[in-house]
């Protein structure tokens, strides 16, 4: 039985996005509550603020995804970038709430939905383009989370990828080489 291109696209997009969600969570596991609020400099956001933004974006974009504009009237985007001093538990709840909304919306899609038109700030996008937009946006912010985590942990950072100087050994080892395929 062959899989259609549309079904394969949805399957692989969800798999990749779950992988990036997991990278964020593995970073949180290495950090204290105070670390989540560390701001590298005035121009940068803390991990807490990035979580607030990701959650707000996901809830706005993916609530009633096929039937409502992705920029909801109830979204307070500027507020997402304010310091709220949320606890670790509150931040992890925001993280889960956003990701659950997003992943539930994605898993509910079928290949027949992929060429439908949705809107974000009244701009028409195909569902495929909307997914690709988030495949770029969310990993971008997860990368920021990891980078801040590395800055904070410095030498005690536990690598989430192939460690420096270990590429050859990794390539010669048995098993799946693409970490996203383990999800």
> Model confidence at 173, in pLDDT bands (50, 70, 90)?
confident
DSSP state of 175: S
Tell me the longest C-alpha to C-alpha distance in the chain. Answer: 55
pLDDT band at 118 (very low <50, low <70, confident <90, very high): very high
> pLDDT tens digits, residue range 144-159?
999 999 999 999 999 9
Q: Mean pLDDT in the chain? A: 93
**Among the residues of the chain, which ranges form H helices?**
5-29, 33-36, 47-62, 77-80, 88-108, 127-153, 167-172
Give the CB-side neighbour count of residue 157, counting CA atoms within 13 A.
19
For residue 35, the tally of other CB atoms under 10 A from its CB is 19
> What is d(CA 164, CA 141) in angstroms, rounded to the nearest whole number?
23
What's the CA dihedral at 130, 25, 145, 61 to 10 degrees?
20
Q: Which class is 5-162 in CATH? A: mainly alpha
Mean pLDDT value of segment 167-177: 74
């Amino acid at each position: 039985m062959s899989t259609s291109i549309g079904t394969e696209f949805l399957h692989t997009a969800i798999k990749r996005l779950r992988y990036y969600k997991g990278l964020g969570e593995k970073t949180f596991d290495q950090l204290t509550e105070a670390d989540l609020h560390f701001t590298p400099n005035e121009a940068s956001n803390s991990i807490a603020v990035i979580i607030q933004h990701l959650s707000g974006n996901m809830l706005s974009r993916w609530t009633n995804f096929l039937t409502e504009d992705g920029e909801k009237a109830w979204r307070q985007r500027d507020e997402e970038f304010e310091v709220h001093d949320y606890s670790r538990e509150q931040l992890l709840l925001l993280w889960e709430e956003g990701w659950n909304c997003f992943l539930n919306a994605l898993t509910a899609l079928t290949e027949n939905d992929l060429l439908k038109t949705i809107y974000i700030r009244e701009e028409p996008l195909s569902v495929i383009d909307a997914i690709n937009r988030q495949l770029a946006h969310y990993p971008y912010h997860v990368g920021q989370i990891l980078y801040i985590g590395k800055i904070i942990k410095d030498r005690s950072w536990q690598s989430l990828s192939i460690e420096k100087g270990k590429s050859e050994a990794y390539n010669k080892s048995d098993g799946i080489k693409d970490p996203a395929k383990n999800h």
